[in-house]
Amino acid sequence: MRKLLASIVSALLVAGVARADFSAGWDSYAKADFLGAARVWLPLAEEGDARAQYALAILLLRGRGFDRNAAGAAILLAPAAAAGHPESAYALAGLYQDGDGVRADRTEAMRLYRIAADAGYAPAQNNLGLLLALGDGVPRDALAAHVWFSLAARSGDEGAARNRDRVAAELNPAQTVESARRLQAWTQPAAPAVLAIPAPLYPGGAMVIEQIANILSPPAPAPAMEAMAPLAPATPAEGPAAQELAAMQPAAPMTAPPAVEPPPMAAPAIEPRSAPVAPAGPPLRIIPAR
């Protein structure tokens, strides 16, 4: 626990520097230099910058610079969503809703949509309303759906406005009054205070960070071994020393009969089974920028 707290505090201390560097990644992204953007965002995501974690996840989700990898994106979105970053919570909710890169889980999708919706993020408010209006894996609640659609419509979401009008026809007079009361009591929240949770603290985070790092800076190939100079024969000794050496040479050994080679041993019929490895999504690879 102390190690975890120390990591979070360390990430908070570097957050000021991270804010200064983050925009440089978008400059590269705007030029379709997706790997250049990833080089800027990778160390920030590792330190705990939720925006950088989200931005890297979007690169993986959209296949920008890398093969599309929803499982890797979900791993990067998890700490950012837990830190209170609305866009990350919304994106991760969509993955759980669709079962894309993670197992489908409508309850988890609803929880994540709620994080982003409570922060005032209109797309999450609309999607939360859809889950409630359709009863898609969650208890159906037309009143709550109407409230969320109405809040998203206030932010200019035209689709949410149409959804609001459709579900309004299902409300009885008492529910219509209650919806209006909730909307009047709603106060648009201030920008959420997003924590800094380093990506490696979450399961799989260190692996995804390392995969991306290896793509951005591949390990240098091992240096080729220099060709070994051929061994030169020793210069024959001359003079008295040569005669003394010749006298000391043992007689040539007698030729031994050839040894009988034993037949090779047959391989065992059953090979030992290796320990199973949990799947971690497809490996990341570079895709040329289009």
Beta carbons within 10 angstroms of residue 155's beta carbon: 14
Q: Is position 183 within any domain?
A: yes
Q: Is position 257 within any domain?
A: no
- Position 197 scores a pLDDT of 92
The neighbouring-strand residues paired with 286 are 66
**Phi, psi for 286 (deg, rounded to 5):** -75, 140
User: In this structure, are 105 and 50 located in the same domain?
Assistant: no
Contact status, residue 163 vs residue 144, Cβ threshold 8 Å: no
Q: What is the pLDDT of residues 60-74, one digit of tens each?
A: 999 999 999 999 999
Distance CA 220, CA 2 (A): 36
User: In this structure, are 53 and 7 located in the same domain?
Assistant: yes
- Position 3 scores a pLDDT of 41
Least confident span in 84-98, 118-132, 167-181, 274-288 = 274-288
- Per-residue pLDDT band for 237 (boundaries 50, 70, 90) equals very low
Q: Is position 231 within any domain?
A: no
User: In this structure, are 162 and 203 located in the same domain?
Assistant: no
Beta carbons within 10 angstroms of residue 179's beta carbon: 22
Distance CA 187, CA 180 (A): 13
Quote the pTM value: 0.70
Tally of CA atoms within 13 A in the half-sphere of 259 that contains its CB: 3
CATH of the domain at 142: 1.25.40.10
User: In this structure, are 23 and 2 located in the same domain?
Assistant: yes
More confident site: 145 or 231: 145
Which helix (H) or strand (E) covers residue 169, if one does?
none
Q: Is position 265 within any domain?
A: no
Q: Which residues contact 63 (CB under 8 A, 6 or more apart)?
A: 287
Contact status, residue 198 vs residue 46, Cβ threshold 8 Å: yes
Q: Tokens 């409230």 identify what position?
A: 147
Q: What is the pLDDT of residues 2-56, one digit of tens each?
A: 343 344 334 433 444 445 488 899 899 999 999 999 999 999 999 999 999 999 9
Burial class (CB within 10 angstroms; exposed 0-12, middle 13-18, buried 19+) of 274: exposed
- Per-residue pLDDT band for 230 (boundaries 50, 70, 90) equals low
Which helix (H) or strand (E) covers residue 148, if one does?
helix 142-154
- Position 284 scores a pLDDT of 41
Last residue in a domain, options 158, 193, 228: 193
User: In this structure, are 32 and 118 located in the same domain?
Assistant: no
- Position 183 scores a pLDDT of 95
Tally of CA atoms within 13 A in the half-sphere of 228 that contains its CB: 3
Q: Is position 235 within any domain?
A: no
User: In this structure, are 26 and 145 located in the same domain?
Assistant: no
Give, in order, the Cα–Cα distances in Å from 228 to each of 143, 188, 194, 221: 82, 75, 60, 20
Domain tally for the chain? 2
Q: Is position 228 within any domain?
A: no
Q: Average pLDDT, stretch 277-284? A: 36
The CA-to-CA distance between both ends of the chain, in Å, stands at: 45
Q: Is position 48 within any domain?
A: yes
Least confident span in 55-59, 109-113, 137-141, 176-180 = 137-141
User: In this structure, are 65 and 92 located in the same domain?
Assistant: no
Question: Under DSSP, is residue 142 helix (H, G, I), strand (E, B) or coil?
Answer: helix
User: In this structure, are 154 and 288 located in the same domain?
Assistant: no
If we measure between CA atoms, which residue out of 23, 28, 49 comes closest to residue 216? 28
User: In this structure, are 79 and 203 located in the same domain?
Assistant: yes
Q: Average pLDDT, stretch 125-140? A: 92
Helix orientation angle between 122-134 and 158-168, rounded to the nearest 10 degrees: 30
User: In this structure, are 40 and 120 located in the same domain?
Assistant: no
Classify residue 201 by its DSSP letter: G
Beta carbons within 10 angstroms of residue 213's beta carbon: 15
- Per-residue pLDDT band for 225 (boundaries 50, 70, 90) equals low
Contact status, residue 246 vs residue 37, Cβ threshold 8 Å: no
User: In this structure, are 201 and 189 located in the same domain?
Assistant: no
Last residue in a domain, options 143, 178, 193: 193
Q: Is position 149 within any domain?
A: yes
Distance CA 107, CA 91 (A): 15
User: In this structure, are 10 and 92 located in the same domain?
Assistant: no
Q: What is the pLDDT of residues 159-212, one digit of tens each?
A: 999 999 999 999 999 999 999 999 999 988 887 778 889 999 888 999 999 999
Where in the sequence is the domain holding 171, given as residue range(s)? 86-193
